[in-house]
Amino acid sequence: MRKSAVLLRIGLALVLILCLVAYFAHSLASLATNGVKMAEKMTRYADTSLSGVSADAYPAIADAITGYLKGTLPTPQITINRDGQNASAFAAHELLHLADIRGLVHLAGVIRYAALAAVAISFIVFLVLRKWQPGVLSFIRPQRALVAAMAAFFALVLIIVIWAAVNFEGLFYAFHRLLFRNDLWLLDPQKDLLLQLMPLPFFVSYGWDLLKQSAAVLLILPLAAFGLRTASREKQG
């Protein structure tokens, strides 16, 4: 009984961690596909003077990129005004990199649905256990699984936040090397419009947005653990 409870507790903790990762992945994808927000950040951080592109083109470019990432547009390529002449916005290697990013956005959606499936399966398993082995649930102590999941996830978030505060550029490069299997993300700030539109401060701003957007969840989880612990003590008492 105790061995089964420990295994179930570990499984529940893993499911909770997967749900947290899925939430962050979904939040990041939602931010990345928000055309209005992207245009605002381009207006604030971009410098496209070397490419001869004015800020008036940013909303159209942002809509093209986010529409492509969401899957509503077949390509992010659009025609813009460059130094008074109509020209394509992006070079071939920039389009390939945007295709890689689109794949990551799609992966975030897959992770989200996988997490929901895992939660549904776990719920069914617990219902079955409750019917056939009612005593095992008292040994699982879901509040402990929640605390373990929170501790692991908070440790990961803390490491990332500290790394970002100390050396965001290093973190940025590390994530790119982890997520991409090619060097298409190594763009030239002198020539490539995509990097001129999205310099490093652009991504720093997105990081802060993600942290603020997720603050509510990060605060709710400790409260949920405390509530489960209190309810368990009252039941035992």
Helix (H) or strand (E) holding 95: helix 92-132
Can you give 109-161 as a three-state secondary structure string?
A: HHHHHHHHHHHHHHHHHHHHHHHHCCCHHHHHCHHHHHHHHHHHHHHHHHHHH
For residue 10, give every residue at least 6 positions away whose Cβ sits within 8 Å of its Cβ, in sequence order, or none: 145
> What pLDDT shows up at residue 224?
62
- Pick from 140, 138, 110: nearest CA to 122: 140
Q: Are 182 and 52 in contact (CB under 8 A)?
A: no
Residue with tokens 């402990």: 144
State whether residue 183 is helix, strand or coil: coil
- Pick from 116, 163, 142, 123: nearest CA to 221: 142
Reading the block at residue 171, the tokens are: 């973190």
Phi, psi of 82 (to 5 degrees): -120, 110
> What pLDDT shows up at residue 115?
76
Whole-model pTM? 0.80
State whether residue 45 is helix, strand or coil: helix
Q: pLDDT tens track of the chain, all 237 residues?
A: 456 666 666 777 777 777 777 777 778 888 889 999 999 999 999 999 999 999 999 999 999 999 999 999 999 999 999 988 999 999 999 999 999 999 989 888 888 788 778 777 877 877 776 677 665 555 556 666 667 777 777 788 788 888 888 898 898 899 899 989 899 999 999 999 999 999 999 999 998 888 887 776 666 666 665 655 555 554 555
The widest CA-to-CA distance across the chain, in whole angstroms, is: 78
Q: What angle do CA 47, 105, 109 make, to 5 degrees?
A: 150
